[in-house]
Every structure is written in structure tokens, then in C-alpha cells.
Amino acid sequence: MTHHNAEQGGRQVTDESPAGSAAERLARAREALADAEAAEATAQVVARDADIPEPARADAEPDPHDVARQIVLRQLTLAPRTRQQLADKLRQKGCDDEVATVVLDRMVEVGLVDDAAYARMLVRSRQESKGLARRALGHELRRKGVPDELIEDALSDVEPDSERDRARELVDTRLRTMRGLDKTVQTRRLAGFLARKGYDSAVAFQIIREALDDLPEHQRD
């Protein structure tokens, strides 16, 4: 979805999963796509050289599994994807659900689609880039179709102390733009900011209080 760089053909963040790094999964996705296109070209040559009437070849319908596979591989070369995201894309493209299941099962089997790796990748990426807390991370993973049991496993890697440290970093950074404002205003704005990041209100207010108390402007003479 890893991912995760879901991507499994991802591109931004690495993951130490058994399926390999996101860059390696992307390389495998591109290789698989190249192999599929080469096989298609070979099949066309064979069909051209075979003793098959031209009208029959012209009227032949494309293999729906090949079509679905091409769609999935192209999606994976663009960005990490979860299995659910890929299933939604195939349905959007008019692929039969049974065909989609067969193709996606194969992608999971070869490690190009790995929701567990995608979930861990997204957790690390969003923590580092956006400072999201467990609640917001869980919401985003569910929105992307990651199963609940995999979400819980990915979120178990989030240490409470590291989450608090990240929240404090966010507050300290935001406070630089709020100097001179009333303490009540600062508290309200910071609380809303951390809430949008998914932080528990009790933890958020404790961190905000500590950060404000450390400011010279709020320290008693």
C-alpha cells in the first residue's frame, strides 16, 4: 500500500517488511508490467504467424484478467495502494469482481500488494511529515481500506512517549507564530490544532500548558 513508497509499488517511504523496501516493490511492479507487455507482444506475433483467419483475430476480446492486471500494475507504479483501493479502481474501470479477486489475490501472493506493509509505511510517513497521532492515523488507514486488525498492528509501533514528543514539537513550532497573543487565545488555537492531528484532549492540554509555562512571557516575575 507498505507503503505503501501502498503502498507494493510505493514511492515515498521505505519499509522493512519481508516483501522488501518500497523502492524494491516499485521495481518489481515495473518489471512485472514490462513482462506482461512483452508477453502480450509475443502473443501478438504468434497470433499473426499462426494460421488463424484475420477476422477472428480482429474480433477477439482481450483477456479480462490481463486487462485487470495492467490496470493494477499501472496504479502501483504511480503510488502505494491498498487492496481495497485497487479493487475500487478495478470496479470503476468496469472489471468483473471475480476477475478482480483473482488478480488481486495473485498480487498479494507475489508481494506487490501488502496492506500490512502499507499500513506501517503510512504510519511512519504521516508521523514524520504531519505529526499525526494514533487516532488520526487510524482514521486515515480505515479510509484507505486497511483492515482493522492490520491497523491495530501498525499503530502498536507508535510509542506514547514519541507521540508526546512529536506533539510538543508541533506546539513549539506553532507558538513561534503566536507570540504576543493572550494565553487563552494561544491555548484555544493550539488545542484545535492538536485535535485536528488526532491527539487526545487530555494529553494535548497537558503539553500545551507545559509549553506555555516555559515561555518567558508567561513566567511569573
Residue 14 · residue 29 · CB < 8 Å: no
Its domain, for residue 198, covers 160-218
Number of domains in the chain: 2
From 143, 158, 173, give the residue that closes a domain. Answer: 158
From 158, 174, 202, give the residue that closes a domain. Answer: 158
Residues 71 and 139 in one domain: yes
Q: Which residue has the cell 502501483?
A: 76
Residue 124 · residue 137 · CB < 8 Å: no
The DSSP line for 22-51 is: HHHHHHHHHHHHHHHHHHHHHHHHHHHHSS
Residues 70 and 149 in one domain: yes
Residues 41 and 68 in one domain: yes
Residues 52 and 150 in one domain: yes
Q: At what angle do helices 64-78 and 97-109 cross, to 10 degrees?
A: 50
Alpha carbon distances (Å) from 196 to 121, 127, 131: 21, 13, 10
Residues 140 and 174 in one domain: no
Residues 110 and 194 in one domain: no
Residues 48 and 139 in one domain: yes
pLDDT at 15 over 50: no
Residues 139 and 85 in one domain: yes
Residues 128 and 177 in one domain: no
Specify the higher pLDDT residue, 212 or 37: 212
Confidence of residue 10 (pLDDT cuts 50, 70, 90): very low
Residues 175 and 89 in one domain: no
Residues 26 and 110 in one domain: yes
For residue 146, give the C-alpha cell: 486497511
Residues 43 and 142 in one domain: yes
Instruction: Say what the pTM is.
Output: 0.68
Tens digits of residue pLDDT in 139-164: 999 999 999 999 999 999 888 888 99
Tens digits of residue pLDDT in 165-207: 999 999 999 999 998 889 999 999 999 999 999 999 999 999 9
